[in-house]
Amino acid sequence: MSGENEEEKLPDKLNPHIWVKIGKYALKKWPLLLVILAMMLITTYYDSSFVPVMNFEASSSLLMTSATAKINSMIRFAYS
């Protein structure tokens, strides 16, 4: 072995047989699938509903930080 990182060869095509097996196994636990789906929907709702608020707060904090830095530099200049 040469010690270099070797990439694993992945198949180029989708194998539907594997996904059928995964689907059959997942359907045995269908209540958990409903819980996962509900959590995904709740997370999507909160992520999309708070984006405008988060963007506003982020931009406000950047403006306040730059304004505060300017004021502090003026105060230091005035007292030096």
- How far is the CA of 71 from the CAs of 24, 34, 62, 67, 78, in angstroms? 64, 54, 14, 6, 10
* Domain ranges (residues) in the chain: 15-47, 50-80
Beta carbons within 8 Å of 33's beta carbon, 6+ residues apart:
26, 27
Find tokens 């997370």 and name the residue.
43
Q: What pLDDT was estimated at residue 72?
A: 64
For residues 27-51, average pLDDT? 90
Task: Give the residue, 10 or 22, on which the prediction is more confident.
Answer: 22
Q: Which of 13-22, 31-40, 50-59 has the highest mean pLDDT?
A: 31-40
pTM above 0.85, yes or no: no
Backbone torsions φ then ψ of 2, nearest 5 degrees:
-85, -10
Q: What pLDDT was estimated at residue 56?
A: 78
Lowest mean pLDDT among 3-12, 27-36, 59-68: 59-68
Q: What pLDDT was estimated at residue 6?
A: 78
For residues 7-20, average pLDDT? 83
